[in-house]
Copies of this chain bind each other. A is one copy, B any other.
Amino acid sequence: MIMGREEVGQRSETVRRANLSAIVRELHLRGPISRSELVAWTGLTRSAIRSLVGDLVAGDLVAEEAAVRLGTPGRPSPLVRLVAENAVVLALEIAVDSLAVATVGLGGDVLWQRRVERLRGHSLLEEIVSDLADLAASARSRRPADETPIGVGVGVAGIVSRVDGLVAFAPNLGWIDVPLGDRLAEALDLRVPVAVANEADLGALAEFRRGAARGADDILYVHGEVGVGGGIIVDGRPLSGIAGFGGEIGHMPINPAGRACRCGSVGCWETEVGEGVLLARAGYPVDGGSAAVDAVLADAAAGRPQALDALREVGRWLGIGLAGLVNVLNPRRVVLGGLFSLIHPFVADRVEEELDRRALAAPRRLVSVVPATLGVDAPLLGAAEMAFDPLLADPAAWLGPRGALVQLESA
C-alpha cells in the first residue's frame, strides 16, 4: 500500500491563509499597491480585501499610506505597503572566494550588506561557521537592537540536501556530508529556522523574483564560477529534485572523450566552460582566480587574439550545453550569472549560433539568453528570498489570533 501524504483536505481557514499569502506575496514581489489594485488582481471583493489588509495592518506587517493622486476621477485608493523593518531575514553566503551577509527586509529592501574576501581552498566547517557568525553579529549590530530576524537563509557553493541541510558535496570547500545548517543554527543561536541551499539555486530564485528572469515562469539560471552550477525554475517553482540535489548541470557529460572532472567523471560540461579551462586556453594559470579572469577580460577588450579565441571556445561549449538544456527544459529565459555574466558580451554570438544549430526549432524560438542583472549578489539575495518563503506561504502564522504580532519559536 502506498502511503499518501496526509492532510490534503482544505478547510475554511485555508482560504484565508491562501488569500493573505497572495496579498503579502504580491506586495513582496511588486512593491506598494493600492487597495483597489489588490481587489482587481485577486478577484476578491472590497470587503474581503479590507478585512485581510486590516489584519495585516493590525499585525504590523503592512502599513497604509495616504492615497496617491493619479489624475483619474474617483476617490483615490490608499497605498498598501509592507513594513520592511518589521520582518527581516538574515542572508548568508559562502562563495568560492568570499563570504557575505545581508539583512533584508520584507519587500526585498537590503537594509545592510557586507562581503569579505575569502582565500580559495579547503576550509574547516568550524572556521566558516565562526566567520559567518561574526558577520551575522556585525550585521545585527548595525540594526535596531530589538530587531530579530524571522529566518536565516544560507547559500553555499556545493550541493545541499533540502531534507536536512547537509552539504553533501562542496569541492571548493573540501566538504562531504557536512552539517552546515545544524552547526550554523547553534552558532547563531537565533531560535529561527536556518535554511541552506545551493548557490546557483538561490541565484535562480533571485533572478526569477527580482532580476533578469522576472515575469518568466520557466527559467534556467547558469552560474559560472570555478565550477558550473544551475538553478532551474519550472512553472514558477524551483526544481529541487527528490532531495534538493537538482540543477547540477555542470556535471552533464558533454564530451565523454574529454578532460577529467574533479567530480570523478570525464567530460562534464564544466570541464569545457569552467573558469579553469577558460584561463588555460587564454594562457593564464588555471588557478589564477578572479584576478586572472579580469586579465582575460581586459585582454579580450583590448582585442588580443588568444583571449578572444579562448572566450569563443568557451562560448561554443556554453552554447552546446545550453542547447541540450533548452531541449530538455523548454525554458522561457536562460540567465547567465557569475563568470558567465562577465563574459556574456564576448560569447553571446557563439552561444546563439550553437543554439540555432543544436536546439530544436520549436523551443529555440521561444527562449532568450540574457546576462544576470543582480551581479555577484544574486545568490545572497536568493538566500534572503528563501528565508522569506515560510512567511510568504503563511503570513497568518506571523499574526496572532486576529491581529497581535506573535514571535514564533521555530519552524
Interface residues of chain A, those whose CB is within 8 Å of chain B, are: 2-4, 6-12, 14-15, 18-19, 22, 26, 30, 40-44, 48, 159, 161, 168-169, 214-218, 230, 232, 234-235, 237, 239-249, 251-257, 263-266, 268, 320-321, 323-325, 327-332, 357-363, 366
Contacts and interface: CB of A to CB of B under 8 A. Distances in A.
Given A218-B242, A328-B247, A328-B249, A357 B264 contact: yes
Contacts of A263: 360
A263 B359 CA distance: 9
A70 B266 CA distance: 57
B254 A253 contact: yes
Nearest to A320: B253
Contact of A30 (B2, B168, B357, B363): B2
Q: From A2, A30, A358, name the one whose CB has the most chain B CB atoms within 10 angstroms.
A: A358
Contacts of A329: 239, 241, 246
Given A245-B363, A252-B252, A26 B4 contact: yes
A327 B159 CA distance: 10
Contacts of A264: 357
A177 B140 CA distance: 58
A362 B324 contact: no
A43 B239 CA distance: 28
Contacts of A244: 330
Given A245-B363, A254-B256, A328 B328 contact: yes
A243 B361 contact: no
Contacts of A42: 7-9
A44 to B, nearest CB: 4
A323 B253 contact: yes
Q: From A41, A253, A256, name the one whose CB has the most chain B CB atoms within 10 angstroms.
A: A253
Contact of A242 (B15, B242, B268, B366): B366
Contacts of A330: 240-248
Contacts of A15: 10-12, 14-15
- Lowest 10 CB-CB distances: which A-B pairs, in order? A241-B330, A9-B42, A252-B324, A9-B44, A168-B362, A7-B43, A246-B330, A265-B358, A245-B330, A248-B327
Contacts of A44: 9, 11
Q: From A230, A323, A332, name the one whose CB has the most chain B CB atoms within 10 angstroms.
A: A323
A53 to B, nearest CB: 13
A248 B360 contact: yes
Nearest to A161: B362
Nearest to A232: B328
30 contacts: A3-B215, A6-B40, A9-B42, A10-B15, A12-B12, A12-B15, A15-B15, A159-B362, A161-B362, A168-B362, A216-B242, A218-B241, A230-B328, A232-B328, A234-B237, A239-B239, A241-B330, A242-B331, A242-B366, A245-B360, A245-B363, A247-B330, A248-B330, A248-B363, A251-B323, A251-B358, A253-B320, A253-B324, A265-B357, A328-B328
Nearest to A177: B362
A159 B328 CA distance: 12
A19 B12 contact: no
